Amino acid sequence: MSFPEERLRRMRRTPALRSLVQETRLHPANFVYPLFVSALVKDREPIVSMPGIFNLSPKEAAAEAKKAYELGVQAVLLFGTPAKKDAVGSASFREDGIVQRGIKEIKAACPEIVVVTDVCLCEYTDHGHCGVIKGDDVDNDATLDILVRQALTHAEAGADIVAPSDMMDGRVDVIREALDENGLEQTAIMAYAAKYCSAFYGPFREAVDSAPQFGDRKTYQMDPPNAREAMREIELDIDEAADIVMVKPALAYLDIISRARDRYDVPLAAYNVSGEYAMVKHAAASGMADEQRLVMEVLTSIKRAGAGIIITYHALDAARWLRG
Ligand code: PBG
């Protein structure tokens, strides 16, 4: 069959017809909303590099989580800025650390919401790297011990999911083992499995003041040209019992999301990162394009590529727009 019998415009004629054949549908339940909990702010302070996003006190983070939940966004991802940073990120595994306090406040205000926590050292080290330094590089195995302590304190504080973003080898395995040994076998792991060394993290690093003070993250984060290696990273994390695997960033890596979706039958997340967010916000603010349409197109592309879970700073706006 071909033209003139076949006419693809027939099913595009009205909104109801288009809706009937719509292949990809966003839902607020797809979104995870990142929250920045900071020991340095009293209530909330705008993050200049990310318009519309704030550094929050634990109390304000709880209010924000509640707002998200009321809009149908059922998960938040916590990042922390401690009062003091040091060489090994020891503020990251304190029982009364900033993220640990944030978890408790959020769970008290909104017990149903899924609390995910970023597990990494870069927000807590004075040198800004994602692990402890030996010589002039990050030491993999020494970093694992700290990641484990951090993940345990998050889980003990009530996190539902811990999400290691450090890109050390073997971390999912040791975190799973430690959680299980401590009676925390119900705490899930979302692995930042294929995390690329990306310029799109720029605004985030300004938000939590985590830009590396020397060198870069190339010895641990993935090299952008590599796709097959991403499949190996994901496969290893699945073997180490990750419950959810993630591709990050999202937009420049839609092919990686798509390949992972075809290949692995595990829940797949993608992180629509700070630089992707800031680009859209600046384009919209300059009047170059309509913000709502940009955001919905971006988020739809990520879901269409295969990510069922989308971590995005646009979560609350998108949830509002989906409600109409
Ligand atoms: C920590 C971490 C980063 C992001 C999430 N977890 C920064 C980095 O690796 O430099 C980036 C998030 C974003 O850009 O929105 N390792």
Residue 104 domain-assigned (yes or no): yes
Residue 67 domain-assigned (yes or no): yes
Residue 96 domain-assigned (yes or no): yes
The list of the chain residues with pLDDT below 70 reads none
- Rg of the chain over all Cα atoms, to the nearest angstrom: 20
As given in the structure block, the two tokens for residue 42 are 């009293």
pLDDT at 1: 87
In this structure, the strands spanning 114-119 and 54-56 are unpaired
As given in the structure block, the two tokens for residue 239 are 């073997």
Residue 215 domain-assigned (yes or no): yes
CATH number of residue 207's parent domain: 3.20.20.70
Residue 2 domain-assigned (yes or no): no
Residue 194 domain-assigned (yes or no): yes
Q: DSSP labels for 114-171?
A: EEEEEE-STTTBTT--SS-EETTEE-HHHHHHHHHHHHHHHHHHT-SEEEE-S--TTH
CB of 234 closer than 6 angstroms to any ligand 1 atom:
no
CB of 49 closer than 6 angstroms to any ligand 1 atom:
no
* Structural domain of 278: 26-323
Q: What is the per-residue pLDDT across 9-34, written as a single tens digit (0 to 9) for each?
A: 999 999 999 999 999 999 999 999 99
pLDDT at 51: 97
CB of 277 closer than 6 angstroms to any ligand 1 atom:
no
Q: Is 96 helix (H, G, I), strand (E, B) or coil?
A: coil
What is the Å distance from ligand 1's center to 292 Cα?
25
pLDDT at 324: 82
What is the Å distance from ligand 1's center to 163 Cα?
12
Residue 18 domain-assigned (yes or no): no
Residue 20 domain-assigned (yes or no): no
Which residues are identified as catalytic?
195, 248
How many structural domains does the chain have?
Answer: 1
